[in-house]
Amino acid sequence: MEKVEVIRSIYDDQFKILNSILNLHMVETTFEVDLTFGNGGFYKKGIPEPQHRFDIDDTLPNITKACNSNNTGLSEASVKSVIFDPPFLTYIKKQRTGNSNMVMSRRFSGYWTSDELAEHYKTSIKEAARILKHKGIMVIKCQDIVHNHKLFCTHAHILNWSSEYFRLKDLFIQRATHRMPAPNRKGKQKHARIFHCYWIVLQRWAK
Ligand SMILES: C[S@@+](CC[C@H](N)C(=O)[O-])C[C@H]1O[C@@H](n2cnc3c(N)ncnc32)[C@H](O)[C@@H]1O
């Protein structure tokens, strides 16, 4: 009998996760909509680019339309799959002025407060639910964060925010391989240092 590689829930490589999601949960070879296309990093190793490539940053060269991910203009129940890779909490204020060279402090690349993140994530999940057909797939890449000794558990919030429209279909963990653990700056360590992000696979489902 031919041996087929078992798909696991944890990988170091985002392309293994993307291909696993496509194999397990989708008939098509790519997503129909990318709400936060950026530089198209997901499509550098053979996965075809989506038909609808959206991003709020109108300077990006390869997007089909500049728009907020919570207002795509697509018709209701018109697409089969959506991927959403939004910025995460950075608490870096300089992004507002764009006067820093740090990737995380550029325009549109982080939220200063958890309320700001919540508003964008919630409204984008609602928009994805609006444009997806019944049983359509939404994939969200996200990361939890510890700041000022407090854990902001992004992935748990997403599960809450999406439960009105989606059911959880699968969950992958991507391990960070090349992040060096910075030493504790002062005092005793209070939280586990985060070395992973999540890929949440949701399925559109009316309650
Ligand atoms: C983590 S990056 C996405 C990276 C992308 N997946 C890639 O591999 O190149 C987040 C993207 O979200 C975009 N973004 C931030 N706020 C947005 C919003 N309100 N609506 C749409 N896109 C937004 C940013 O411009 C940025 O390109």
Contact 174, 18 (CB under 8 A): no
Question: Mean pLDDT, to the nearest integer, of 150-155?
Answer: 93
Can you spell out the DSSP letters for 48-111?
PPPSEEEES-TT-TT-SEE--TT---PPTT-EEEEEE----B---GGGGTT----GGGSTTS-B
- Which residues are CB-neighbours of 169 under 8 A, at least 6 positions away? 25, 137, 201, 202, 203
Query: Ligand 1: which residue has its CA nearest to atom 27?
Result: 38
Lowest-pLDDT range of 12-21, 99-108, 158-167:
99-108
Sheet bearing 65-66, strands edge to edge: 10-11, 166-175, 196-204, 132-142, 79-84, 33-34, 52-55, 65-66
Note the pLDDT of residue 148. Answer: 79
146 Cα to the center of ligand 1, angstroms: 21
Q: Are strands 150-152 and 65-66 parallel, antiparallel or unpaired?
A: unpaired
Calculate how far, in angstroms, residue 24's C-alpha sits from the geometric centre of ligand 1: 25
Do residues 166 and 202 touch, judged by C-beta distance below 8 A? yes
Average pLDDT over the chain, rounded to an integer: 89
Percent of the chain whose pLDDT exceeds 90: 71
Which atom of ligand 1 is least distant from the CA of 38? 27
Which residue among 56, 63, 145 is best mutated to probe the pocket of ligand 1, counting the most ligand atoms within 8 A of its Cβ? 56
> Closest Cα to atom 26, ligand 1: which residue?
38
> Can you count the helices (H) and strands (E) in the chain?
3, 10
Cα 63 to averaged position of ligand 1 atoms, centre (Å):
11
- Ligand 1: residue of 42, 55, 69, 96 to mutate (most ligand atoms within 8 A of CB) is 55
Q: What is the pLDDT of residues 44-90, one digit of tens each?
A: 999 999 999 999 999 999 999 999 999 999 999 999 999 999 998 87
Q: Cα(105) to centroid of ligand 1, in Å?
A: 13
Distance CA 55, CA 177 (A): 27
Determine how β-strand 65-66 pairs with β-strand 52-55. Answer: parallel
Scanning the structure block, which residue is given the tokens 């002062």? 186
Give the binding-site residues of ligand 1, using a 6 Å CB cut-off.
Answer: 36, 38-42, 55-57, 68-69, 85-87, 108-109, 120
Task: Supply the residue whose CA is at minimum distance from atom 16 of ligand 1.
Answer: 108
Strands 33-34 vs 79-84: parallel, antiparallel or unpaired: parallel
Q: Which has the minimum average pLDDT: 74-78, 151-155, 203-207?
A: 203-207
- pTM for the whole structure: 0.92
Rounded distance, CA 43 to CA 15, Å? 9
**What per-residue confidence (pLDDT) applies to 180?**
62
Residue whose Cα lies nearest atom 18 of ligand 1: it is 68
The answer to whether 41 and 31 are in contact (CB under 8 A) is no
The whole-number pLDDT of residue 112 equals 82
Burial class (CB in 10 A: 0-12, 13-18, 19+), 52: buried
Tell which atom from ligand 1 comes closest to the C-alpha of 42.
8
Closest among 76, 64, 14, 61 to 35, alpha carbons compared: 64
